[in-house]
Amino acid sequence: MSAAILAQSLVKRYGDFTAVAGLDLEIGNGEFFGLLGPNGAGKSTSIHMLSSLVQPTAGRAEVCGIDTQADPVAVRQRIGLVFQDSALDRQLSVWENLRFTGLLHDLPLEQTRERAEHLIRLFGLEEKRDKPVGSLSGGQRRALDIARGVLHRPQVLFLDEPTIGLDLPSRRRIWRFIAQLRAETGMTVLLTTHYLEEAADCDRVAFIRGGRIVLQGEPDALVRDLGSDIVEVSADQPEAVRAELESVLGPARVEFETLAFRPPRHDAAALAGLTESLGDRVRGVVVRRPNLNDVFLWVNQ
Amino acid sequence: MADHVPVTAVTATAAPARPSLWRPVYAVVERDLVKLWRQKGRLLSALVRPLIWLFVIGAGFEATVGGGEGSYRSFLVPGVMGMAILFGALLGALSTVYEKESGVMRMLVIAPFAHRWIVFAKMQAAAVSAVFQALLLLLVLALLGDLPATPGWPLLALGIVSTAYACAGIGMLVAAFSRTLDNFAAIMNFVIFPVFFLSGSLYPVGNLPGLLGVAAQLNPYTYGVDLLKHALPQSAGHAADFTVAMDVLVLAGFTLLAFAVSAWRFSREQAYAPLFGLATAKGGKPGSGKPGGPPPDK
């Protein structure tokens, strides 16, 4: 059985800037896959190539076993893409946008209406149904953008930064919608995000940096491999206490006024003693479970 | 759970049939007409603009040049019909550029059809809304008594439709090569005005001296106005400059050419630069990217 998404040494160069520097991916049917990395890592360009909209400079890609360059229309028939920036028509209402999308995908009007009503209910947009998109909140617009992306029941859904620019409650709601859609349809989902910790629910994640994948695996396993809790010490002059702390906790990662450590084992008593001996020189000590963000940061150490 | 929903698997392995094109094309035409209808200001100015020319320029010239009562005004009627079509189709086609900028075009580029059909659909939409505006003007002109007693209706229909397509073609060519609408004033100055003035709208083409006359003969819009002159024969007897066959041939030929060129242009990803962040900075002008710091991944 062929993979839902396959990328082999995908490269995209713009002039002498390399956006994607040889991307290899193999994502199975029904998988929930996260492509993670900072802004500018090449996530969007990768999605645009996988969805047939941008021609790779080198390498090839397949979606549902179809070559993206050989038959882009067949690829677009099977995928949904929620762009990072809205694709909605602000002058049209919620329903009119979905109706337009349905017609563009050659769906009979009755089918469009049925699915649109379902999605409008699922995403809590009932009251906005006949309001222009310009009157929607950021979270509602993103929800509608996702509804637009799945109206034609794609086998593969690409979500490019689905939660960017949203407040926390909206972000949670968007993740819940995505989970509901997956439960309902079983479709393959490839998402990108730079809020790395949000990708914990993915089946697998890959970290991308400088246009290539630097690490991939199951989120739990990646976090587990990190091995230990994270100790964060904040201080007015972190460099002054760094050496002393490193002798006990191992090498530090400095972030502004915070020193982060990954001590080989968690010794609460030793930590308490250390905090006491440092006294006023530190402002606070926090011990917490690691997340994907930590994985990414420590990997790039 | 309360939100129990029907489970519909999308694991169908059979290849779905190729989508047909009529629904997408219809969708684009319908959407553009709905928007036009909602923008009453645009609709109103589409009517008022030609009428101002008819009344103000018509009356002004008659007073200056003299001539029979109402004769210049009746000469202007096909020209202002053409003007309504020209502006209607051009603005309709130029909305493509706005759609690239605002991102609405994303819905079209991700839809399952080749990108040349976006051009086809937008050309239909521009032409249909131009015809709609021309019909409104025709109604007003009829009420004002500015139509000749015996217009050639089939010829008029042919003239309106073929002029609308040719003007939509001019608009798509501009849209295909414009990055933004920021330079709309430039488009106005270097496209719309020359196309309008260097035609037979305001004077017989033969009256244009030298190079201006040549330019008018190269202007496809000239042939649209000429066809309208055939359809709206004037009492004062200003003859059209070309034959009906010539007019139709030029308009149809130009429309096909414009479609081919803009479809080619729109099948290249550079045409969508504003939609894919990176390409905006780098696509058109190689080497113009800022040194240091990667471009934003948008």
A140 touches B at CB < 8 Å: no
Per CB-CB distance under 8 Å, the chain B contacts of A19 are: 278, 297
**pLDDT attached to residue B4:** 46
A184–B8: do the CB atoms touch at under 8 Å? yes
pLDDT digits (tens, 9 = 90+) for A43-52: 999 999 999 9
- Predicted ipTM of the assembly: 0.87
DSSP state of A93: B
Write the CB contacts of A45 (distance below 8 Å, at least 6 apart in sequence): A12, A19, A20, A54, A211, B276, B278, B297
Q: Is residue B160 part of a domain?
A: yes
Predicted TM-score (pTM) of the model is 0.86
Q: Give residue B270's pLDDT band: very low, low, confident or very high (50, 70, 90).
A: confident
Summarised one tens digit per residue, pLDDT across range B91-115 is 999 999 889 888 899 999 999 999 9
Which of the residues A13, A46, A100 would you substitute to probe the B interface, choosing the one with the greatest number of B C-beta atoms within 10 Å?
A: A100
In a domain, B186, yes or no: yes
Those residues with Cβ within 8 angstroms of residue B145's Cβ, 6 or more apart along the chain or in another chain: none
Residue whose C-alpha is closest to residue A50's, from B105, B101, B110, B116? B110
Is residue B15 included in any domain, yes or no? no
C-beta of residue B19 within 8 angstroms of C-beta of residue B113: yes
Q: Mean pLDDT, to the nearest integer, of B78-103?
A: 92
Q: CA-nearest residue of chain B to A122?
A: B3
- Tell me the residue range of the domain where B164 lies: 22-272
Q: Flag if A87 and B103 touch (Cβ within 8 Å).
A: yes
Q: Is the residue at B173 inside a domain?
A: yes
Is B106 part of a structural domain of the chain?
yes
Average pLDDT of the residues in A155-177: 91
pLDDT value for A300:
66
CB pair distance less than 8 Å for A185 and B8: yes
Share above pLDDT 90 across residues of chain B, in percent, rounded to a whole number? 50
Confidence of residue B23 (pLDDT cuts 50, 70, 90): very high
Mean pLDDT score across all residues of chain A = 90
Largest CA distance in chain B: 85
Q: CA–CA distance from B82 to each of A231, B160, B221 (Å)?
A: 75, 8, 8
Compute the Cα dihedral for B283, B289, B294, B296 and give only its sign. Answer: negative
Task: Check CB contact of A247 with chain B, cutoff 8 Å.
Answer: no
With CB atoms and an 8 Å threshold, state whether B294 touches A17: yes
Q: Would residue B7 count as lying in a domain? A: no
Please tell me which residue, A247 or B30, carries the higher pLDDT value: B30
Q: Is B13 helix (H, G, I), strand (E, B) or coil?
A: coil
Average pLDDT over residues A2-8: 92
What pLDDT is recorded for position B92? Answer: 93
Distance (Å) from the alpha carbon of A218 to chain B's nearest alpha carbon: 24
Greater model confidence, B55 or B180: B55
Helix (H, G, I), strand (E, B) or coil at A150: helix
CB proximity list for A66: less than 8 A, separation 6 or greater? A74, A75, A78
Chain A residues with CB under 8 Å of B297 CB are 19, 39-45
**Sheet containing strand A66-67, strands side by side:** A17-27, A5-14, A58-63, A66-67
Tally of CB atoms within 10 A around A135: 12
Residue B149 inside a domain? The answer is: yes
Specify burial of residue A144 (Cβ count, 10 A radius: 0-12, 13-18, 19+): buried
Distance from CA of A281 to the nearest CA of B (A): 36
Alpha carbon distance A289, B108 (integer Å): 44
Residue B9 confidence (pLDDT) = 43
Average pLDDT over residues B121-131: 97
Neighboring chain B residues of A43 at a CB cutoff of 8 Å: 297
- Total number of domains constituting chain B: 1
Which domains, ranges and CATH numbers included, belong to chain A? Answer: 5-217 (3.40.50.300), 224-299 (3.30.70)
The helix or strand, by DSSP H or E, that contains position A220, with its residue range, turns out to be helix A219-226
Q: For the segment A45-93, what is each residue's pLDDT rounded down to a tens digit?
A: 999 999 999 999 999 999 999 999 999 999 999 999 999 999 999 999 9
| pLDDT tens profile A181-212 | 999 999 999 999 988 888 988 999 999 988 88
pLDDT at residue B82, as a whole number: 95
- On whether the CB atoms of residues A57 and A13 are closer than 8 A, the answer is yes
What is the total residue count of chain A? 301
Question: Is the minimum CB–CB distance between A76 and chain B shorter than 8 Å?
Answer: yes
Say how far apart CA A51 and CA A71 lie, in whole Å. Answer: 11
Residue B11 lies in a domain: no
pLDDT of residue B14: 56
Residue B232 sits at the vertex; the CA angle it makes with B227 and B235, to the nearest 5 degrees, is: 130
